[in-house]
Amino acid sequence: MADAEREVDEVRSGDVLSVQELNEWIASVIEDTPALNGVRCIGEVTDLHQNSTALYFTLTDGDAELPCMIWANRYRNLDAELEDGTEVILEGDIDYWVEGGKIDLKPWEVIVAGDGDQAAAVERLRSELEERGWFEDEQKQQPPAFPERVGVVTSLRGDARYDIQNAIHEQDPTVNIVVKDATVQGSNAPTSIANGIHNLDRSEDVDAIIVGRGGGSDSNLQAFNTERVAEAIFTANTPVVTAIGHTDDRLIADQVADVATITPTAAGEYIVNSRQEFLAGEIEPLEQQLVAAYETFQQENEHEQELAEAVDEASASEGLPPIYYKVAIAVLLLLLLVITGLWLGVI
């Protein structure tokens, strides 16, 4: 604790600490704070993943998040089986990872309380929307093959905006892109995203709307599991493509959308590729027909040439005897003249 106090004094006196020194000081303060040892916390498990060394997950109450880590050998000895959506009570120590500069909870006891409220609410909404028919293919619209104006609902500060723009303009720089800034996580996100969709659908005369964000934890993506966003997508007259960076279970927004892609880049590529696929579908058959017609023309032309050559050969063959006759007659006439001249000379 003396070292930590010394470093605090150094900071207060204006000395500049390295990142390593500051992180070590933070870790020492946390370690020497009794109130941060043996804390108990209740929340819902999200983003669960593990390797041979440890189990990692995020504990959330819907608004706030706390990273957690359990060593693999300790987890095997716990009488608990964790999965995403499980509500748990954790007891353990708050730890600070010096190298990574991250705080987390390392529990030594896990009590499973049941399914989390957040996961249960999402499943209830999913079932209700399925009963309404919002997921049916018959309700979906196909984005146009030649979009001239594409709307995008995402954060102006996120990478998703640029990923979508680059994916579209690399293939077709003439497409006009209209971006509506939206909060994509937190309690205000559902309303912000829905308003962006409504605005583009009703006021901007766009041919398609891309809605999404980059990757994030399950909690960060919960705006796309809300009825407000689902309703905005479902009621839009403009085809909607979701572009939410995730690889796990599909979000409700994906199920309602006309087309669902797993990343913003994939959404942009889809919008442009739909044009290319249309052209391929229309032009390739015509190209095949032209090739077939040209081959037929070549075959017929070759056949006509063969016939012409055959006629020429036949005509030449039929013309040979008269020539021979004429030559023979000429020779005979010459001989006759010679003989006549000789005979007259004798006389």
Span 152-203, pLDDT tens digits:
999 998 899 999 999 999 999 999 999 999 999 888 999 999 999 999 999 8
Residue identified by tokens 């500069």 is 101
Residue type, 152: V
Tokens at residue 194, please?
Answer: 């829905």
Highest mean pLDDT among 80-84, 239-243, 247-251, 271-275: 239-243
CB atoms near residue 194 (< 10 Å): 23
Of residues 9 and 121, more confidence is placed in 121
- CATH assignment, 133-276: 3.40.50.2300
DSSP run (H or E) holding 265: helix 264-346
Query: 272 and 280 in contact (C-beta within 8 Å)?
Result: no
Using alpha carbons, list the distances in angstroms from residue 115 to 63, 68, 225: 17, 18, 17
Secondary-structure class of domain 33-115 per CATH: mainly beta
Residue 286 pLDDT more than 60? yes
Strand order in the sheet with 259-261: 176-181, 149-154, 208-213, 240-244, 259-261
Residues of the chain with CATH 2.40.50.140: 33-115
Query: 114 and 92 in contact (C-beta within 8 Å)?
Result: no
Bridge partners of 208, per DSSP, are 150
User: How many residues are given for the chain?
Assistant: 347
β-strands 259-261, 240-244 pairing: parallel
Structural Rg of the chain based on CA atoms: 41
Name the residue among 148, 137, 160, 157 with its Cα closest to residue 268: 160
| pLDDT score of 196 | 97
> Average pLDDT, stretch 230-248?
89
The confidence band for 334, taking pLDDT boundaries of 50, 70 and 90, is low
Span 59-117, pLDDT tens digits:
998 778 999 999 999 998 888 889 888 889 999 999 999 998 999 999 999 988 776 67
Residue type, 33: T
Q: What is the pTM of this model?
A: 0.60
Residues of the chain with CATH 3.40.50.2300: 133-276
Residue type, 313: E
Terminal C-alpha separation, the chain: 161
Q: How many Å apart are CA 320 and CA 119, to the nearest integer?
A: 101
Q: How many Å apart are CA 273 and CA 271, to the nearest integer?
A: 6
CB atoms near residue 320 (< 10 Å): 9
DSSP E strand boundaries for the chain: 39-50, 54-60, 65-71, 86-97, 102-115, 149-154, 176-181, 208-213, 240-244, 259-261
Q: How many Å apart are CA 88 and CA 103, to the nearest integer?
A: 19
| pLDDT score of 4 | 45
Residue type, 305: Q
Rounded (to 5) percent helix, strand, coil in the chain:
50, 20, 25
Q: SS3 of 151, please?
A: strand
DSSP state, 82? -
Phi and psi based region of residue 336 (left: phi greater than 0; alpha: psi -120 to 50; beta: remaining): alpha
